[in-house]
A and B are shown apart, each in its own frame.
Chain A
Amino acid sequence: MTDPIQPAGAANAFAQTYEVKAGDTLGKIAQQFYGDSSLYMQIFEANKNQLKDPNKIFPGQKLVIP
């Protein structure tokens, strides 16, 4: 371990996560966590392993909130 700055992905025990609920959008989630819905792409980028389209998220999905 030489670099303390590693990507805060799903393997990071300290990464914040959020379980998608019915009616959620990435914009709403970005607003909730960042106070700025325009940052929704940050969440999308961090979850590309399970999201193909930022407009398609489903209840029960666990998203990493970078």
Chain B
Amino acid sequence: MMTKHYKLAGLLTVAAALVLAACANQMEPAQAAIAGVDSAVTSAAGDAGKYAPEQLSAVQAKLADLKASFDKKDYQGVLSSAPAVLAEAQGLLATAALKKEEMMKALGTEWTGLAASLPQLVAAVKSRVDVLSKSHKPPAGVDLAAAKSGLADATTMWGKAQAAFSSGNVEDAVNAAKEVKAKAEAAAAALKLQLPGAAPAKP
């Protein structure tokens, strides 16, 4: 009877040792797998954060899950899930590049429209400023000083927009051009100038 117990205990010890050895064998590959995913996420984070933030968040959440599994010593779970997460992380760069290209294309179209219309908008405002500057009594409610100031700001900002575009920074160029539009429209409102094709100036 005792011999049987010793044999069983021995078997259990051997089995436990094998399990421990197996775990130890899987720990390092699991650690390496997580490091691989981590590295892929880190290298994609810049562009992906800007152009594919939702996809980046999803991969980061999966990476966190892998780390949680590792902490629970579920190395097998890490090893079975890691390849898919790695592939997703590696795909982030391509996704971000595609989204960036789409965004740049849209910004280019937006710039073309702004570049065609803004000089005319600014010219229309300047024309009215020039005429009203010759008046001895500008109409009631017209703030000529504000219009002149807004026009000067718009002109300066347009220079910045063009410089940004020339240096290849389309995003900054479009943002600056939008400011030009806002300032020119505010100047038109100060003149009580209703611009065709624009929202009516506020009274």
Residue numbers of A with Cβ under 8 A of B are 1-8, 12-17, 34-36, 38-39, 42, 46, 66
Contacts and interface: CB of A to CB of B under 8 A. Distances in A.
A17 B134 contact: no
Going nearest first, the 9 A-B pairs with the smallest beta carbon separation are A35-B139, A8-B127, A14-B124, A66-B127, A36-B135, A4-B119, A4-B122, A8-B124, A6-B123
A58 to B, nearest CB: 22
B168 interface: no
Interface of B is mostly: helix
A6 B138 contact: no
A13 B196 contact: yes
B128 interface: yes
Interface residues of B, number: 35
A6 B140 CA distance: 27
Given A14-B195, A16-B195, A17-B196, A39 B123 contact: no
Contact of B139 (A15, A17, A34): A34
B132 interface: yes
Contact of B126 (A2, A8, A39): A8
Interface string B181-203: 00000000000011111100000
Interface string B79-102: 000000000000000000000000
